[in-house]
Chain A
Amino acid sequence: MGVNEQVLRMGPRKALVGIVTPAVEAAGAGERPTVVVLNSGIIHRVGANRMSVQLCRALAGQGFHAVRFDLSGIGDSEPREDGLALLDGTLADIREALDTLEATRGCKRFVLVGLCSGADHAVVYAGRDPRVVGLVLLDPSIPHTPRYYLNHYARRATRLSSWMNIARGKHPLWQALGQRMGGGPAAEEAEEGARADLDTPQARAFLSQAYLAAQATGNHFLVVLTAEREDYHNYREQLLDAFPEVPFGDRLQLEYWEDTDHTFTPEGSRGRVVERIQVWLLAAIPG
């Protein structure tokens, strides 16, 4: 496949460094959305295991323009100079990147792709910009649900150490159940690396509003949850249970992948997710 990637410096200061992978078959690409891949954490734009490069090149081969870029202060992009708070700065970065793509390449519609923090940024941004028509969210942040805890502790119950803790009355299940019943200390403190802050009413409301807004502006969603993120999510419908007020309808394709790690490290996992995104784009997003 012949790809001819180009550097595009984006934003009013040209401080955001992006790589454009033009559609190999340009015919039809004008009607298709441009796919923009966001950073995962502080890994630069090539992505974990170079996945973003692989994805962009595969999509270009399918007739999509694809772009990967670094948010301010990550990878090769310069830090912002306007003192915006972190999330506000990130949202401004995305807007500036899309503005540049619209002004210089004529891109009118976009699909945002994000893994982990990138997924969160994508969904939070989407409801604020009608140019975004689709979201690929790989392991987005989802608050814990009662079923999550049932799954979680059912699995842990098979471990000897867990039985020992129950015998000693220290098992986190009791603490968690106690909290769910309205009492007891924050059970999540006992959990290794759990993102307890996602379970606060404020965090839930913030994420719920983000999904509602993204849904209301007509976005299509592909959400893939990986089993390795068991401390965050552990079943397919957790997204629906966490946000029952969001009427996803048939615009959501929701998947839970067993035996898959968070960054799709094996070539097979990576190939599978790249292919799934390609197929979903062609099927879900009207040309």
Chain B
Amino acid sequence: MNPFFFGTRQRRLFGVYTPGRATAAGAGTRAVVLCAPWGQEYLRAHRSLRQLGALLNQAGVHVLRFDYFGTGDSAGEMLDASLAGWEQDIETAIDELRDSTDAARVGLVGLRLGGTLAARVAQRRRKDVDALVLWDPVMSGEAYLRELLVDAPARAAGLSGGGHEVMGFALGEAMAAELQALAMPVQELPARTLVVRSVQGPGEPLGDLAVEQVEGQPAWLEDHHSGAGAVPVKVLQRIAQWWS
């Protein structure tokens, strides 16, 4: 395990790199960037993403998980953050992982908002991203934003950035506008793409991609007032197995 900061001086990102176990298959370097959700969902899901990383390591996959700018241990504050910037952060993480592993191409696993951002980056970086896992991705930024703003108080006068407080996290007007316009891309995704849904319900289709329903509790919602989410073992195992 190697926790470290990477990126630029202006945009230092915290990440944890964990190397994959040496595998006999000689399948070549496989490396994956994990893309986290946002806000309370990020806090809740931390344990699951760490655990997913460990399972991927056991399957021989090198893993980099990291915090977007303005979140977690990375530099910056929420009001300095933007979705465009977070997509850039994913690209920075891709480059970092390729540099440290000599992987020609990498995969992305994204949870919730991280899934949506990962898909957009995968679409843009098709030469570098050859596999994608979307885990309960946010399909519509507009609907997600509507959900976030239910009962969210307007930020107090005097606090910069305007917008709302979403369960303790500032969501400025600029990022709200980005979310409003955010859409999950359904075309030109990597040929190897897996969509996993762990929540019940019909769910929205994702182009021609099949959506796998896997039994499990949502990793991003609080479990029994613990402040952390459940660790949905079957979901994690399915994702790791897909990479095996």
- Give me the interface of A with B, judged by CB distance under 8 Å: 3-7, 9, 17, 19, 40-46, 48-50, 53, 75-76, 78, 193, 263, 265-268, 270
Contacts and interface: CB of A to CB of B under 8 A. Distances in A.
**Looking at A45, A76, A268, which has the most chain B CB atoms within 10 Å of its CB?**
A76
Nearest to B167: A265
B73 A42 contact: no
B207 to A, nearest CB: 35
A266 B168 contact: yes
A193 B4 CA distance: 39
B8 interface: no
B129 interface: no
A19 B168 contact: no
Nearest to A193: B225
A42 B227 contact: yes
Contact of A5 (B47, B75, B226): B75
Contacts of B14: 5, 7, 19
Contact of A267 (B43, B47, B156, B226): B156
Given A17-B3, A49-B43, 14 more contacts: A5-B73, A41-B227, A41-B228, A42-B47, A43-B43, A48-B227, A49-B169, A50-B169, A53-B73, A76-B3, A76-B16, A78-B1, A265-B167, A267-B168
Contacts of A75: 46, 50
B4 to A, nearest CB: 6
B105 to A, nearest CB: 27
Interface string B35-77: 0000010010011001000000000000000000001110100
Given A19-B73, A42-B227, A76-B3, A268 B156 contact: yes
24 contacts: A5-B5, A5-B12, A5-B73, A7-B14, A9-B3, A17-B3, A42-B228, A43-B228, A44-B47, A45-B73, A46-B43, A48-B43, A50-B72, A75-B46, A76-B1, A76-B3, A76-B50, A78-B1, A263-B168, A263-B227, A265-B167, A266-B153, A267-B155, A270-B168
Contacts of B40: 49
A267 B170 contact: yes
Contacts of B156: 267-268
B25 interface: no
A46 B227 contact: no
B168 A265 contact: yes
A-B residue pairs, 3 tightest by C-beta = A49-B168, A265-B168, A43-B227
B95 interface: no
B178 interface: no
Contacts of B167: 49, 265
B128 interface: no
Nearest to A44: B46
A101 B173 CA distance: 41
Nearest to B73: A19
A268 B159 CA distance: 9
B159 A267 contact: yes
B220 to A, nearest CB: 14
B73 A40 contact: no
B96 interface: no
B142 interface: no
Contacts of A263: 168, 227
A42 B226 contact: yes
**Looking at B47, B73, B226, which has the most chain A CB atoms within 10 Å of its CB?**
B73
A48 B168 CA distance: 9
A263 to B, nearest CB: 7
A174 to B, nearest CB: 28
A263 B43 CA distance: 13
Nearest to A17: B3
B111 to A, nearest CB: 16
Contacts of A266: 153, 165, 168
A252 B103 CA distance: 56
A17 to B, nearest CB: 5
B145 to A, nearest CB: 19
B161 to A, nearest CB: 10
A41 B225 CA distance: 10
A40 to B, nearest CB: 7
Nearest to A18: B3
**Looking at B16, B170, B227, which has the most chain A CB atoms within 10 Å of its CB?**
B227
